[in-house]
Chain A
Amino acid sequence: MHGELLSKDFPAIDAIIKKYGERKEFLICILQDIQARYGYLPKEALTRVAEKLDIPLIQIYSVATFFKAFSLRPKGGHTIHVCLGTACHVRGAERVLGKIKRDLDINVDETTKDMNFTLKTVNCLGACALGPIVEIDGKHYGNMTTVKVESVLKKYSIKKME
C-alpha cells in the first residue's frame, strides 16, 4: 500500500473526500480516514486533499503536524508502545526501551527497515501494577525485563511469522 501504488491511488482519496461532501470543515475526518487506510499521511494524499478542498497546503500540514494522532511517516506492521510512566520508570522501563532500541536498531518514533515495527513511548498505560509494561498492537505485556522483551519481540518478528 506504500509508495508507488499511492501515486495512482487518487480515486481512493477522492472517494474519502467525497464521503464528506468535499467540505473544508471535515478536514480532520478526511485526514483520519486517509491515515486509517494507509497507516500514515502520504505527502501526495495531502497535496490532493489541498487541491480538492481548495485550502492551502500549509494549513493541512499544520493540522497534520499539530495532532499526535497523525503521522507523516509510514508506520510498521506492529506498533510497540513502551510505557515510561513513573511506576514503570522506577522499575526499569528505560532499560527495556534501550534493549528494544538496540535489538531493532531504531530510535523512538522510528520504523524498522523491514517496515515491521514502529517504536513509540507513552507516559502511562494505566496499568502501573504490571510495570514495566510494553504494548504491542493493543496487547499488553507486563513485568517486562530485558530478557523477557526479547522473546516477546520474537513473536512478532517477520522470520517467526513465515
Chain B
Amino acid sequence: MEITLNGVKVQVEEGWTILDAAKFYGANIPTLCYHEGLSPYGACRLCVVEIGRGGRSKLVASCLHPVREGLNVRTHSERVVKARKMLVELLVARCPQSKILQDLASSMGIEKVRFKPKYDDCILCGLCVRMCEEQMDAKAIGFVSRGVKRRITTPFDIKSEKCRTCGACMYICPACQLRCQGPKADTVLCSGCLNISPSCLEKYEDTMCYMDPCVACLKEKEGNKKDVKKKN
C-alpha cells in the first residue's frame, strides 16, 4: 500500500495507523495520551495530522486513523501546527504544574498562555485508566460522570478492592510529574529552557542537529519567518 507522507510517496502495511507510518519513516508527531503498550485512545488530539487535499482536507487523530491507499498525509502543515499549539496551550492552562506539558509547550515554541490557569491535577488523557485495565488487569479506576464533571476515580470514590496499589497509574500519569519549579511556580509557562544558548556547535541551513526538536533552532526559525515572507 502506498501513501503520501509529507509529499513523499512511501510504502506502508495494511493495519497500520498514520502514527505507525509516521514513526516508521521518522516523521516526528508529538503525542501525549499515546503509549506503545496501551490501546490508542485519541483523547489528547496532539497527534493531529492533515489528510486529504485542498479545501477538503481535515484534521484527524493519527494514533487512531488507519492508513488507506493513496492517503495524503501532512504531519507538519501550517494548519496542523497551529491546531497543535492551541491544544498544548489549553492543556498547559489546565495543568501548568506538569513537566511533560511544559516540555511540550517549550518544544513547540509556545511563549504565552492566553487562558486562565486552572491548576487541575488531571487532563483526562485516560493513560492511567488504560494502564490499570490493560497492563495491570485490575480495572480499579475509570471515568465517572460526564461533561465538565468528568473525572477519574474508583467506584463510589472509596478504596477499590481491585486496586493493588501498584502505582502504575502514577507512573504513567503526565500530570503527576511536576515541573522543576514545583507546583506553585511564579509563571504559568516555564519556558526557562528557551533561554538556554544553542547547544549545537555547527548549524546548517537545511538540516537540524540530532537534537530533534532543538528549541534553539525552532526559536531561530520563528524569528526568521517574517524575513522569509518578505522575500517571497
Contact = CB atoms under 8 A, between A and B. Distances in A.
Interface stretch (A1-9, A60-68, A109-117, A127-135): A60-68
Interface string A26-45: 00000000000000000100
B85 interface: no
Nearest to A62: B142
Q: Give chain B's interface secondary structure class.
A: loop
A57 interface: yes
A61 B141 CA distance: 10
A61 B146 contact: no
Given A56-B162, A58-B154, A65 B144 contact: yes
A66 B150 CA distance: 9
Interface residues of A, number: 11
B150 to A, nearest CB: 9
A58 B139 contact: yes
A58 B143 CA distance: 8
A133 B156 CA distance: 34
Contacts of A59: 139, 142
Interface residues of B, number: 14
Q: Give chain A's interface secondary structure class.
A: helix
Most A Cβ at <10 Å: residue of B141, B155, B156: B155
Given A56-B162, A57-B155, A58-B160, A66 B145 contact: yes
B81 interface: no
16 contacts: A43-B156, A46-B155, A56-B133, A56-B139, A56-B162, A57-B155, A58-B141, A58-B144, A58-B155, A58-B160, A59-B142, A61-B144, A61-B155, A65-B145, A65-B146, A66-B145
Given A57-B160, A58-B141, A65-B146, 16 more contacts: A43-B156, A46-B155, A56-B133, A56-B162, A58-B144, A58-B154, A58-B155, A58-B162, A59-B139, A60-B155, A61-B144, A61-B155, A62-B142, A62-B144, A65-B145, A66-B145
Interface of A: 43, 46, 56-62, 65-66
